[in-house]
Every structure is written in structure tokens, then in C-alpha cells.
Structure 1
Amino acid sequence: MSARERILGRVRRALADVEPDDSPYERAIERSYVRAHGDLDAERTVGLLAENLADYRALVHRCTADELPCLIGRLLAERGSRTVLVPPGLDAGWLAETDVERVPDLAASTPDELDRVDSVVTGCAVAVAETGTIVLDGGPDQGRRRITLVPDHHVCVVRVPDQVVASVPQALERLTPTRPLTWISGPSATSDIELDRVEGVHGPRTLEVVLVGGVSHSPGGDGR
């Protein structure tokens, strides 16, 4: 008898005296919990996202769609980036104001090759205001999961307000569970028993989030 058969046998014995329940899943599982806290409009929801991203030590910028290429070019220049990893479906216009060498997202790339890339620029699937979380699902403008885990600098573009929701339950409604979901709350970090924080342990040391909307928040297109 295999280990699998032994485990399933124990499960069957444990459930032997349980009455069958044919109730549909949506009725069998209680879902009356609060889906979002408060009743924020779109502008305040985006503001909450920016505030919570900053609390997690992400660098937050705000600009219009027209200002985005210039802002991304400036962020890469300030970082001193010479190479940038580009997902296959990223809008080419986003990098129109920079001459940094583009590195394609290739399945054959080794971890060492990815580690030598200075920056990565992606879009996102959805952003959660209450938790300050960016979710990637491997879409065309996000690429493979590993390209946002190995390079040390990640610039993530969020379209506001369309890609911003208030809560995790609202985010889950937009996501497909069979896709490779990556949930990011600030730059990669961990703490030891003495609470000494170390960043860049299992992901980018620097996360820059660009909130792109239709209204400029400063003459320079940067609302830090």
C-alpha cells in the first residue's frame, strides 16, 4: 500500500460518520464577512494605496499617462541602470525616454543572468489599497514570476483607478487562481529575532510603484 493510499484511507475513515451534504459551495460556506472597511471613493482608495505602499517602504510616484515615459526614464537614470528587463507585452512607449539596454524575458535565462540585470519594469494585475499590496499574475506586461524576484530594482506601473481595489476579497474576484500569482507588499525584507530588518533577501531591494492616472499631481509628474 502506497503512502497516498494510506492517507486517503485515513481520510475516509475520519469522514465515515459525516452526513453527506450536497449544498452548493456558495451556500455551504458562509461568506457574510465584511468585504471592505469603510466606503471610500476612487480617489481616496488610491490615496490609501499610496499611503500603505509608502508604509512598506516602497517608493511611490504619481503621474499622467503622457508623463510616464519621462518618469520611468528618470527613475532608471537615478538608479544608474544600464540594463532593464522587459516583459514581452510591456507597452514599448513606457521606455521611449530611455536608452537603457533592453533585456528580453526569456525562459532560457539563468538566475545568474537575471541577477546581472539592473532593473525590471512591469505592469500589474491589481493593487489592494487596504494592504498596500501589488499583485502580479504573469500577464503579458508582467512576464515570468522570476523576473520580478531576482533583479534588485523593480518599477511597477499601476493604472489608477482601474487597477485599484479596496480589499483582498475584491482583488480575488479579479484574479484567476490557476495563474502564477505574486503578492508584493513593499520591497523584499525579513527580520531576525532581534527585529533587525534586512531588505533584498528573496526579491528586489527597491520597489518603485508608479500610479498612472489622468491628472498630474506636480509639475514634474512625480507625487512622492
Structure 2
Amino acid sequence: MSSRERILGRVRRALDGVPGDDTPYEQAVPRGYLRQHGERSAEETVELLAGNLADYRALVHRTDAEGLAATVAALLHRRGATSVVVPPGLDESWLAETDVQRVADRAEQTPGELDRVDSVVTACAVAIAETGTIVLDGSPDQGRRRITLVPDHHICVVRVPGQVVSSVPQALERLDPVRPLTWISGPSATSDIELDRVEGVHGPRTLEVVLVTGLPGGTGGS
């Protein structure tokens, strides 16, 4: 008998004879918490996101759909990148103005191979204004989780205002819990007992977020 079977057996024995609860799970616990803090317009929500991203030391850029390719090219050039990981579903037009070597996201890639790539460009699933958080869900335009954890430079494109929500509860309503969710609040960082901050420990040392208007999926309220 496995450890799992022993534990589940103990749970079944402990519940033996206990009457069932007629109250549905959704009603069993009151959930009267705020869905967001204050009322904001879509524009104010995007401004809050930009401010909180900057507080977390992400680099925030703004452009429209026509200027996105030039913005991405400039960021890669400024970084001195010679290679970039490209998720399989990323819009090819986003990289149309750069000649940086493109590296496909492949299942057989090793961490060492990814570590030799300078940058990665992805989209996102949703962005949370109140926490300054970008959420990835492994969709084709974001790729597998490891391509956003190993390269040292991550450029993440957020469609505004449609992908921006005010709060975590609003984000959870949009996300599929069975997908591989990655929640990013600024570049990867940690600190020791003396509070000396070190970046790039668990993921990219540099996170650049491009807030783009006019892309498909970027319209609508927050």
C-alpha cells in the first residue's frame, strides 16, 4: 500500500458516519471581500498597472500596434541581444524589424541551450493593475514556462486595455486553473538576511513590459 492510499484511507475512516453538508461549496463560506479597491476607468487602470510595474523595477514602454515591431527591435538592440526565443504562436510581425537570430521554442531544448539565448519575447494572458503582476498561461503566444525563466531578458507584450484588470479576483475569472500559470511581479529577485537585493535568481534579471494599444484583443473595458 502506498503512502497516498494510507492517507486517503485514514480520511475515509475519519469521515465514516459524518452526515453530508447540504450547503453547496460556493455558498459554504461567505466571500464578501472587495473585488477591487475603488472605481477606475480603463485608462486609470492601465496607469495604475504601469506605476506598479515600475515600482517592481520592470521597465515599462508604451506604443501602438503600428509601432510595436520598432519598439521590440529597439529593446533587443539596446540590450545587445544576438538571439531571442520565439514562442510558436507569437505574431511574426512583432519581430519584423529586427534581424536578431530567432530560436524556436522546442521541447528538446536543454536549460543550457536556453541559457545561451539572450532574450525572449512573449505575449501574456492578463495583467493585474493593483499588484503590478503579469500572468502567463502557456498559450502558444507565450510558450512553455521555462523559456520565460531561463533567458536573462524578457520582453512581455500586454494588449491594453483589454488584457488589463484591476484586481486578482478579476484576473482569476479569466484564467484557466488547469493551465501552467506563471505570475510575474517585476524581474526575478530575492534578498538575504541583510536585505541585500539580488536580481536574476529565479528568472530573468530584466523584465520589459510593452503596453500596446490597437492590437486585436486589446479593446474593451477593465
SS for the counterpart of 1:85 is strand
CA distance 1:29–1:83, shift in 2 (3 Å): same
Output the TM-score relative to the length of structure 1. 0.92
Q: Give the Å deviation of 1:166.
A: 0.3
Structure 1 residue aligned with 2:88: 88
Look up the match of 2:118.
118
Amino acid at match of 2:180: P
Q: Distance in 2 between matches of 1:164 and 1:213?
A: 11
Higher mean displacement: 4-13 or 41-50: 4-13
Aligned-partner Cα distance in 1 for 2:71–2:160 = 16
Aligned to 2:155: 155
How does 1:127-142 map onto structure 2 within 5 Å? 127-142=127-142
1:106 aligns to 2:106 (yes or no): yes
Please state whether the residue corresponding to 2:66 is helix, strand or coil: coil
Counterpart AA for 2:26: E
Q: In structure 1, the residue corresponding to 2:138 is in which secondary structure?
A: coil
Which residue is 2:191 aligned to?
191
Paired position in structure 1 for 2:169: 169
Match of 1:182 in 2: 182
Residue aligning to 1:29: 29
Q: Does 1:10 align with 2:13?
A: no
Give the equivalent residue in structure 1 for 2:43. 43
TM-score, length-scaled by structure 2: 0.93
Q: What do the CA deviations read for 1:107-145 (whole angstroms, capped 9, x no partner)?
A: 011100000000000000000000000000001110010
Amino acid in structure 1 at the alignment position of 2:69? P
Deviating beyond 6 angstroms after TM superposition, the runs of 4 or more aligned structure 1 residues are: none
Q: Distance in 2 between matches of 1:28 and 1:142?
A: 37
**For 1:37-87, what per-residue CA distance to the aligned partner results, in whole angstroms no more than 9, with x for missing partners?**
101110000000000000000000011111110010000000000001000
- The DSSP-based 3-state class of the residue aligned with 2:93 is helix
Cα distance in 1, alignment partners of residues 38 and 30 from structure 2: 21
Over 3 Å counting, the alpha-carbon distance change for 1:39 and 1:17 in structure 2 is farther
Aligned length: 214
Backbone CA RMSD of aligned residues:
1.2
One-letter amino acid matched to 1:194: E
Alpha-carbon distance between aligned partners in 1 of 2:34 and 2:17, rounded to the nearest angstrom: 34
Aligned residue in 2 for 1:19:
19
C-alpha distance in structure 2 between counterparts of 1:34 and 1:18, whole Å: 34
SS of equivalent to 1:66: helix
SS in 2 for 1:73: helix
Deviates more, 1:184-193 or 1:3-12: 3-12
